[in-house]
Amino acid sequence: MIECGCGKKAVYFRRNEGRYYCKKCLMDGVEKKFYRTVGRNKLIERGDKIAVGVSGGKDSTVLLYLLKMMQKKKGGFELVAISVDEGIMGYRDKSIKAIGKICKKYGVPHHIYTYKNELGFSLDELMCKKKIKSCTYCGVFRRYILNKKARELGCNKLAVGHNLDDEAQSVLINFVRGDMLRFQRLGAFPKILDDKRFASRIKPLRNIPKREIAAYAIIKRFKIEEGHCPYSFDNMRRDIQTMVNKLEQNYPGTKQQIVNFYDRLHPMISKKSGKVIGTCEKCGEPSSLRVCKYCELLEKIKN
C-alpha cells in the first residue's frame, strides 16, 4: 500500500511535489489553496453579495460548496447562485437540475435565466437554423447575462469556477492571439473595469488544478452531470489545452508556473486606462463601443 505522509492510504499523487496524498490530506490541500487565493487577492470582503455562476459541472459545484463552507465559518457575506440555460436538450437541462438540487441542499437561492427568455430563442433552435461558431456567441451572451443578472440581484461580485488549467490556457490563448485587452483582464481578481455597472469577477479556484477539483468532487460524492456541449467548436482552446497538458506531463508544475508568471507580469501591464466606459445605445448596458458586442451578435443572428 502506498501511504500518504500521515500514514493513511494514498489516493492521489501530486506530480509537481512528488508526494502522495490520502483523501483527507488532499481535501485539506484543495481547501488551503482556495483560502489562500481568496485571502491573498482579497476576493471577499465584509458586506459582499456574491453571485456564483453555476453550470452543474465539477468546478462550479466545488466552488459553490467551498464558498458556502467559508460563509458558515466566517460569515459576513451573502451568496446566490445563478445559471444560464442555453437550451441544449440532453446536456444543460440535466446539469442545471443537478446543481439545483445541490443549491437546495446547502440553502443557496438559485436563479436560472434561459436563452429563450433573454434572447428569444434557445441554442437548439438557433443551431437548427444557422451554422454558426456558437462558442463565440455563447461566450458573449453568457457573460452579458451573468453580469446583468448579478447586478439586478444586487450582487457586487460574480464568482466563476475557472481552475488552474483554464487560467493557464487563457494566458497562452491571449498571448498567441495577441489580444492585449483580454490578456490584461486575467488573474484571480482583474478589477480592470472600475465601473459600478459591472459585478467584479472573482476566481477563487484559479490556483487549483482541474484534476484536484475533480478528485475533490468525487471524494465529496457530489452528484454531477457533466456532458459535452454538442456544438462546442473552440479549436484554439482545445489545441492549447493539449499542448499545456503535454508540457505538464513532461515538466510537472508548468501550469502553476504559467499562472505565477502572469501574476508577476500583471502589475506592469494593468495600468488603469482611466477611460470611462460608455453605454450601449441599444440595450443601455455598459459598453466601450456605441453598440455592445451582445447587441451586435444578436442583430447578426436576427438578420
Task: Using CB under 5 A, list all residues that contact Zn ion.
Answer: 4, 6, 8, 22, 25, 280, 282-283, 292, 295
Helices (H), the chain: 23-40, 58-74, 92-106, 115-119, 123-129, 134-152, 164-177, 180-184, 210-219, 235-250, 254-269, 293-302
How far apart are CB 177 and Zn ion at their closest, in Å? 24
Provide the minimum distance between the beta carbon of 157 and Zn ion in the complex, in angstroms, as a whole number. 22
State in angstroms the smallest separation of the CB of 288 from Zn ion. 11
**Cβ contacts of residue 49 below 8 Å, gap of 6+?**
77, 78, 80, 153, 154, 155, 156, 157
CA distances in angstroms from 280 to 25, 120, 290, listed in the order given: 50, 20, 5
Alpha carbon 201 to its chain centroid, in Å, reads 9
CA distance 284 to 69: 37
- Cell numbers of 193, please? 473595469
Whole-angstrom Cα distance, residue 96 to residue 94?
A: 6
Least separation in angstroms between residue 136's CB and Zn ion is 16
Which C-beta is closer to Zn ion: that of 6 or that of 218? 6
Residue with Cβ nearer Zn ion (225 or 285): 285
- Determine phi and psi for 76, rounding to 5 degrees: 90, 0
Residue 31 to residues 38, 77, 129, 298, Cα–Cα distance (Å): 11, 19, 45, 40
In the complex, the smallest distance separating the C-beta of residue 117 from Zn ion, rounded to whole angstroms, is 17
Q: Which is nearer to Zn ion, 171 or 295 (CB)?
A: 295
Report the nearest approach of Zn ion to the CB of residue 1 (Å): 13
Rounded to the nearest whole angstrom, what is the least distance from the CB of residue 4 to Zn ion in the complex? 3
Closest CA to 216 of 86, 68, 59: 59
Give me the least distance between CB of 284 and Zn ion, in Å please.
7
Q: Judged by CB, which is closer to Zn ion: 163, or 287?
A: 287
Q: How many CA atoms lie within 13 A of 224 on its CB side?
A: 24
CA-derived radius of gyration, the chain: 20
Distance of CA 10 to the CA centre of its chain: 29
Q: Which is nearer to Zn ion, 22 or 80 (CB)?
A: 22
**The cell 499523487 sits on which residue?**
13
Q: Between 110 and 148, name the residue whose CB sits nearer to Zn ion.
A: 148
Compare residues 265 and 283 and give the one whose CB is closer to Zn ion: 283
Nearer to Zn ion, 17 or 45 (CB): 17
